Amino acid sequence: MITELDIISIVRFLEKDDIPKARDILSTFKSPESNYEKGYQLALNGLVGACVNKEKDSIFYKLVNSQLPAEMINNQREICKRRIKQNFRDNAMIGYEHAWEFILSYFLGDQKMGLDKYQRQSTL
């Protein structure tokens, strides 16, 4: 099973251009148990591939190199959310889109980790 911590670790290594460590994490994942996990892993493999190949036009490459404004990141996340809700998409595509939604949320600062994830925000 892929955890949020695994994804964030992969992203952080890719931000530091430490591709071997990101690949090491990917190699620890077992064969996907479901089509949903298969789609999720496909998205993560694509992230690493974009950095390995230095694909300057890929969204992820632009994300890790701070070349996308927050508005564009948010627009992409909204597209992912819409795709997730489309009934005709199979589980692999839904997993793929969920992975991207999480990654885009991470770059927007909307994903919290550790204890922050469970703390309520005050509404003073």
Evaluate whether 105 touches 48 at the Cβ level (below 8 Å). no
Task: Answer whether residue 118 is part of any domain.
Answer: no
Of 105, 59, 47, give the one whose Cα is nearest residue 81. Answer: 105
pLDDT tens, position by position, 77-115:
999 999 999 999 999 999 999 999 999 999 988 654 444
C-alpha distances out from residue 75 to 1, 44, 67, 79, 84, Å: 28, 20, 15, 6, 14
Task: Answer whether residue 17 is part of any domain.
Answer: yes
The range of the structural domain enclosing residue 9 comes to 4-109
Task: Answer whether residue 59 is part of any domain.
Answer: yes
Number of structural domains in the chain: 1
Task: Answer whether residue 114 is part of any domain.
Answer: no
112, with CB counted inside 10 A (0-12, 13-18, 19+), is middle
Rounded to two decimals, the pTM is 0.81
Task: Answer whether residue 13 is part of any domain.
Answer: yes
Task: Answer whether residue 101 is part of any domain.
Answer: yes
Task: Answer whether residue 120 is part of any domain.
Answer: no
pLDDT tens, position by position, 33-77:
899 999 999 999 999 999 999 988 998 889 888 888 899 999 999
How much helix, strand and coil, in percent to the nearest 5, is found in the chain? 70, 0, 30
Task: Answer whether residue 122 is part of any domain.
Answer: no
